Structure 1
Amino acid sequence: MITSSKLKSVDFYRKIPRDLTEASVSGAGLSIIAALSMMFLFGMELSNYLATSTSTSVIVDKSSDGDFLRIDFNISFPTLSCEFASVDVSDVLGTNRLNITKTVRKFSIDSHMRPVGSEFHSGPAATDIKHDVEVDEESTEGSVPLSGSNFDKYAHQHSILVVNFFAPWCYWSQRLKPSWEKAAKIIRERYDPEMDGRILLGKVDCTQEGDLCRRNHIQGYPSIRIFRKGSDVRNDHGHHDHESYYGDRDTDSLVKTMENLVESMPSESRKLALEDKSNATGEHAKRPAPSSGGCRVEGYVRVKKVPGNLIISARSDAHSFDASQMNMSHVIHHLSFGRKISPRVMSDVKRLIPYVGINHDRLNGRSFINTRDLGGNVTIEHYLQVVKTEVITRKDHKLFEEYEYTAHSSLAHSLHIPVVKFHLELSPMQVLITENQKSFSHFITNVCAIIGGVFTVAGILDSILHNTFRIMKKVEIGKNF
């Protein structure tokens, strides 16, 4: 059995009776300084232990989102009509998708980028519009030439005014002209403008009547517009509510369309039956025309993770465009890559790593304007380099992954129809940010080292001071004797 005397023999901290110790002013001062030093160093060590530290490395992309990348965008074009606005995607592997509509929405906007009306629906694309095969070059003109001075007069004089806005140099306008004039002549014979007045076919040369064409937001040639008496002129800024015709352009189809328009005019009791008939004869080819000259394009596309392009332009398989009059100025409200990150997750990441996410949407809110000084045919190009960033927190928990990008933009003259082009360069590497784990045992060891070290150093200094004062006293006593 171990006695208390044997147990006391292994005491490392043997006690000196208090009567044998001597307190000093210098010792008290050093004790206070040592205590304050211990508290200060302990606080520094605790702060360092609680602080977040990360390590950054570059590795081969090991994306969990597969071989495709999502691009979200919201871009306003003050001078591009929704009627022809097209979103296209291409890449170096040969992918070439034109006029994407499934995941893209378009809204008409005015010159101040304010929304005008509801969502603009383009309808099914006309891939093969029919024209007359035989052209009668000697046919007389049947449509009425319209200008800015007489347009409103004819629009109010007739219940229905159908207008062909054309350009003489346009190939499609040239193909439409014989059919249009022949159909106009037939309609004039059936519905005499002087006696009947229910319908009239007119034409506007946009190279001569630029202001009139701009007022009706004509950007592609030919554009066939349908104006109805009593609903064609709106009270706000003189804009027109009207329809556009996108159907076949042969004489028979045009005449049939005009007949359907006339038949839709009787009383409400026959309206439903006539609507069913008109739908069966090509009414789907008529859709509301854009109510303003601008367009906001928003939505998303998925692209392969290879170099490619996202292109927004005016596109049509049956219209021509005057490149010198096209202006692709735009404002990027939002452009980002990858999955959408919730504000809460982004806030957590910002607290952990403040600099992450700065380049996630760096083009947001930026404007790219083609001034008149640059002239026409100006293509605006954005060169984007996209890199994935992944953040892994303690215990190997993936907090989030996002794509950041750098952007360089330029305006350049083009020989073709001007476009807005985003050149995409996706890096095969990714940035991996890992939160470093800190050992609690290491923290305790450092705290003990601080306490023991400060206590030891203070004890050495106290011993030096005490011995120095004692020697000085002895010297002083020796001098007195």
Structure 2
Amino acid sequence: MGRGSRLTRLDAFTKTVEDARVRTTSGGIVTIVSVFIVFVLVVGEFNDYRRIIVRPELVVDKTRGEQLPINLNITFPHVPCELLTLDVMDVSGEQQSSITHGISLTRLTPYPESRPVSTSSLNLHDDSASHLDPSYCGNCYGAPAPEGKNGCCNTCEDVRESYANIGWAFGKGEGVEQCEREHYAERLDSMREEGCNIAGHLSVNKVIGNFHIAPGKSFSTAQMHVHDLNQYFASSKAHTFSHVIHSLSFGPELPSMVKHQHNPLDGTSQSTAERSFNFMYFIKVVSTSYLPLGVTETTEGAGTGAVETHQYSVTSHKRSLAGGQDAEHASTVHAKGGIPGVFFSYDISPMKVINREARAKSFAGFLTGVCAVIGGTLTVAAAIDRGVYEGALRVKKLHQG
């Protein structure tokens, strides 16, 4: 009994006897409203607890030796596919010239219709001379044969590549037996009014560099990057590098909850009436990771839902090259004077953005919120009920008095 008395003094929850309690209609209404409010707020707390948010973090990018994937889809309505060349160069000295692997060139009908002529990749030089004698060895017409061709130029493309390797202008292949056999000149002329769509994927070193789409076969000479522009400027059709960038991205797409807008260059359109015109885009690439709930850098891998990609910002510049050269009579143009075309220079940021999924509220926070909702609502309800009850008593006394 004594022990019970000592504990009784610590009771913070004093009780009232049943006979001292008064139940009223207003109190019942307040109770029902309070229960409804508590239910709504608790449901809100639960939904908030289940809500997933993305918290971005900025860290130093420590990755080394990775490749930078590039996805592109660009339309040139006034340049045929046979005149376009895609090249990549970077500060490490690596060059990829006339890229065709992973890239498709789709011929388009003349502007403004610009519908696909062919769904397959363009290949003007599909004649491998298989119908000729097996011992046939084509003449390279004074140029060294391409590497791996055993000193022979069996196709028009072999001769064209041989000329490009030593910086000779090729033209339409007049007098070249292989080109005449393949009707190279006739096929070129038949495509003059066409446009071209370049789409696909390429992989480059993750260092500062550029990729560009320019006319003519490309080659390097005296530490300069050169294009054979003979066919581009000699054409009766006034080709221009007006273009539409349907999409340009570096790596896979981020989830929609992270990516709130399109890539900066998606849907970009540029136009010019000059043949000798240069478009340049300067791109700052930032490595970006997306880590779903429960995935960390250590558990990241296949099947986890993690995404490794890149975001970018861009500034653009365009200029006419006509004043710096006699464009109508030029056969080649080197880097000093500028090359007509579309150039994308990319720089790699040393920082990395990590988008990490997390719950908006912890379980402890959820319990705290529920207790606060119940306690706060009942306290306010008790005050309201007390006020209504006291007010009713005073009104009743006034009527009785």
Question: What TM-score do the two structures reach when normalised by structure 1?
Answer: 0.56
Note if contact 1:389-1:403 (Cα within 8 Å) is conserved in structure 2.
yes
Aligned to 1:444: 367
Residue in 1 that maps onto 2:69? 70
Q: 1:395 to 1:79 in 2, by over 3 A?
A: same
Query: After superposition, where does 1:282-297 map in structure 2 within 5 Å?
Result: 289-290=187-188, 291-293=190-192, 294-297=195-198
Number of the residue aligned with 1:236: none
Moved more, 317-326 or 298-307: 317-326
Aligned ranges for residues 12-161 of structure 1 at < 5 Å? 18-62=18-62, 66-111=65-110, 112-117=113-118, 118-123=120-125, 129-131=140-142
- In 1, the alpha carbon distance for the partners of 2:95 and 2:198 equals 19
Residue pair 1:116, 1:292 contacting (<8 A) in 2 also: no
| Structure 2 CA distance for partners of 1:299 and 1:464, relative to 1, 3 Å | closer
Whether contact under 8 Å (1:76, 1:113) holds in the other structure is no
Secondary structure class of the residue paired with 2:265: coil
Q: 1:363 aligns with which of 262, 265, 272?
A: 265
Shift of 1:310: 0.8
CA separation of 1:357/1:336 partners in 2, compared to 1, >3 Å: closer, same or farther?
farther
Aligned mates of 2:339, 2:55 — CA distance in 1: 48
AA at the equivalent of 2:207: V
Deviation at 1:412, TM superposition (A): 0.8
Q: Which residue of 1 aligns with 2:203?
A: 302
Specify the alignment match of 1:400 in structure 2.
307
Task: Kindly state the Cα deviation for residue 18 of structure 1 after the two structures are TM-superposed.
Answer: 4.2
Pair 1:222-2:124 in alignment: no
1:469–1:425 Cα change, 3 Å: same
1:434 aligns to 2:335 (yes or no): no
SS in 2 for 1:332: strand
1:40, distance to aligned residue in structure 2 (A): 3.0
**Residue 129 of structure 1: how far off its partner (Å):** 4.8
Pairing 1:321-340 to 2, within 5 Å after superposition: 321=231, 323=233, 325-338=238-251, 340=252
Describe the superposition over 1:271-299 as per-residue Cα deviations: whole angstroms up to 9, x where unpaired: xxxxxxxxxxxx68969834423332233
Q: Give the Å deviation of 1:380.
A: 1.5
1:275 paired residue number: none
Equivalenced residue count is 320
Asked if the contact 2:72–2:248 (Cα under 8 Å) also holds between the matched residues in 1, the reply is yes
**Matched-pair contact (CA < 8 Å) for 1:110–1:292:** no
Contact 2:207–2:347 under 8 Å retained in 1: yes
How big is each residue's C-alpha offset from its partner over 1:302-332, in whole Å with a ceiling of 9 and x where there is no partner? Answer: 1222221111111236762565954112222
Paired residue for 2:301? none
Q: C-alpha distance in 2, partners of 1:336/1:288?
A: 37
**Larger Rg: 1 or 2?**
1
Deviations 1:211-247 (A, max 9, x none): xxxxxxxxx86314xxxxxxxxxxxxxxxxxxxx6xx
Over the aligned positions, Cα root-mean-square deviation in angstroms equals 4.0
Paired residues of 1:78 and 1:329 also in contact (CA < 8 A): yes
1:102: Cα distance to partner?
2.8
**Structure 1 residue 83: Cα displacement:** 2.7
Shift of 1:73: 1.7
Aligned residue in 2 for 1:413: 320
Does the 8 A contact of 2:295 with 2:306 survive in 1? no
Q: Contact between 2:290 and 2:308, CA under 8 Å: does it hold in 1? A: yes
Q: Is the 8 A contact 1:74 1:297 kept in 2?
A: yes
> What is the letter of the counterpart of residue 72 of structure 2?
F
Q: Is the 8 A contact 2:172 2:184 kept in 1?
A: no
AA matched with 2:172: S
Give the alignment partner of residue 389 of structure 1, picking from 277, 288, 298: 288
Q: 1:474 to 1:411 in 2, by over 3 A?
A: same
* Inter-partner Cα distance in structure 1 for 2:141 and 2:260: 52
**Shift in alpha-carbon separation, 1:60–1:288, aligned structure 2, 3 A:** farther
Q: Would you say the 8 A contact 2:56–2:355 is kept in 1? A: yes
Q: Secondary structure at the match of 2:377?
A: helix
CA distance in 1 between partners of 2:230 and 2:106 (Å): 23
The amino acid that maps onto 1:222 is: G
For 1:313, what is the secondary structure of its paired residue? strand
Normalising by structure 2, report the TM-score.
0.66
Unaligned runs of 5+ in 1: 133-171, 177-219, 225-244, 262-282
Q: CA deviation at 1:89?
A: 0.7
Amino acid at match of 2:187: A
Q: By how many angstroms is 1:404 displaced?
A: 2.2
Percent of paired sites with the same residue: 27
Q: For 1:137-195, what per-residue CA distance to the aligned partner results, in whole angstroms no more than 9, with x for missing partners?
A: xxxxxxxxxxxxxxxxxxxxxxxxxxxxxxxxxxx9xxx9xxxxxxxxxxxxxxxxxxx
Q: Distance in 2 between matches of 1:45 and 1:302?
A: 47
Whichever residue aligns with residue 30 of structure 2, its letter is L
- Supply the distance in 2 between the matched residues of 1:303 and 1:11 (Cα, whole angstroms): 74
The answer to which structure has the higher helix fraction is 1
How many Å apart are 1:61 and its aligned residue?
Answer: 2.3
